[in-house]
Amino acid sequence: MRVRAQPKDAGLRREPQAVPGVGYVLSATLRAMNTIKFVLLTVVALFVGSLVNGAIVSISGAIIPPPAGADFTTEAGLKASAALMEPKHFILPWLAHALGTLVGAFLASWWQPTRSLRAVLIIGVAFLVGGIMMVQMIPSPWWFIGADLGLAYLPMALGGRWLAGRIFGGSARN
């Protein structure tokens, strides 16, 4: 068997000659622009998800009326009327938390499919932190706290990513 002689620089790639420093500056600028775009789109998705959450919470009293004598308009009123609340009064708050997270994660995954997991986790964790703060401020039964913190935030965020991937042909699953 005959072995061919390899040139001295075999295996080394030669980069095209360019103006020194220009490629680096352009690359750094594009990275910065992509980072700014990522942050802005994630914040907008988080804001839209928060709007969905707030809209559902604000109409929940019209769909399932509060107990007689309960005032849900203030935090003090919520604390005072916590003992009067039945399980049906926790359905729409849980749905608001879950759908707000789902919509925010869906939009983030749709708008930036190549970075969707990072954006979705940011949104899920942001909503989870808000849920933990809500649980500390407003007394709730243990079953609602478990369902809210365990099912309404991170699972719904990943569900929003999955839904975007299903609707838009899998590009949002990267």
Q: What digits encode the pLDDT tens for the residues 150-160?
A: 999 999 999 99
Residue 1 lies in a domain: no
Please enumerate in sequence order all residues whose Cβ is within 8 A of that of 130, keeping only pairs 6 or more positions apart, or say none: none
Q: pLDDT tens across 15-72, in order?
A: 555 555 556 666 778 888 888 999 999 999 999 999 999 999 999 989 998 888 887 7
Residue 129 lies in a domain: yes
Residue 3 lies in a domain: no
pTM above 0.85, yes or no: no
Query: Tokens 């879950």 map to which residue?
Result: 98
Q: From residue 112, how far is each of 40, 42, 95, 99 by CA, in Å?
A: 11, 9, 25, 20
Pairwise CA distance, residues 57 & 38, whole Å? 29
Pairwise CA distance, residues 79 & 34, whole Å? 44
Q: How far is CA 31 from the centre of its chain?
A: 22
Residue 128 lies in a domain: yes
Task: Give the residue with greater pLDDT, 165 vs 18.
Answer: 165
Number of compact structural domains in the chain:
1
Residue 26 lies in a domain: no
Q: Return the minimum-mean-pLDDT range out of 26-30, 43-47, 112-116, 163-167.
A: 26-30
**Measuring CA to CA, which residue among 163, 54, 155 is closest to residue 108?**
163
Whole-number pLDDT of residue 19? 54
Whole-number pLDDT of residue 96? 97
Structural domain including 100 reads 40-168
Average pLDDT value over all residues in the chain: 85
